[in-house]
Structure 1
């Protein structure tokens, strides 16, 4: 029924430090290894994936029983494919902090530290 290279929709049913388990249908599931989620270093896979999230994945390999697959998100991105069914917000908000923020905050921090030392 399924072949290597197929793009299928699945639901994340479990998350471990090494990857996520994805249910394709009642008889088929797979492992989305952490190395197949992103080209970037992933410290915590939960920052990228959520339980019950529905996503598109590519089948990289079939297990010996043809019911367990090796899956990938990266393979879809490299092909320019869409890998999520919906636009799920990132778990961590994006902050645009830089040297300007440091320049603005440093005098305040110095003043607060000096006041604390004087109060002691």
Structure 2
């Protein structure tokens, strides 16, 4: 008999598959769920594969349970993913280039105004 899960409960789940929109998971008693890409962290997530992998076990919070028992989960309150979010905030511009851009003078010229704005915001926040 499957366990009854409730909103707000923290549970351990195993990632069974990853799609562009999120990660499919299962509980130890084989109840299925989804961690939508928007629920991995508060920051923008371009690729779920950067944070989760098939077979990984994570601690997630239940957002809701539908009438069929499928779980809607979040990792935003998981300390590991909160720390990852903080690390991303402290990354240098060079790290951001490595993740998202091709190298070259034209790409640097195009991105420079955005980097300056980002640096100004970080200085203002401190």
TM-score range, shorter chain: 0.5 to 0.7
For residues 6 and 97 of structure 1, what CA distance do their matches in structure 2 show? 38
Count of residues in correspondence between the two structures: 86
| Consecutive unaligned residues in structure 1, runs of 5 or more | 85-94, 99-120
Match of 1:72 among 71, 74, 77: 74
Mapping for residues 48-63 of structure 1, pairs under 5 Å: 48-63=51-66
| Consecutive unaligned residues in structure 2, runs of 5 or more | 82-90, 95-126
1:18-38: CA deviation from partner (whole Å, max 9, x where unpaired): 000011123411000000001
- The ranges of structure 1 where at least 4 consecutive aligned residues each deviate by more than 3 angstroms after the TM superposition are 95-98
RMSD over aligned CA atoms reads: 2.7
Q: TM-score, normalised by structure 1?
A: 0.62
Structure with a larger share of its residues in strand: 1
1:56-84: CA deviation from partner (whole Å, max 9, x where unpaired): 00000001122x1000001x14xxxx357
Q: Does 1:30 align with 2:30?
A: no
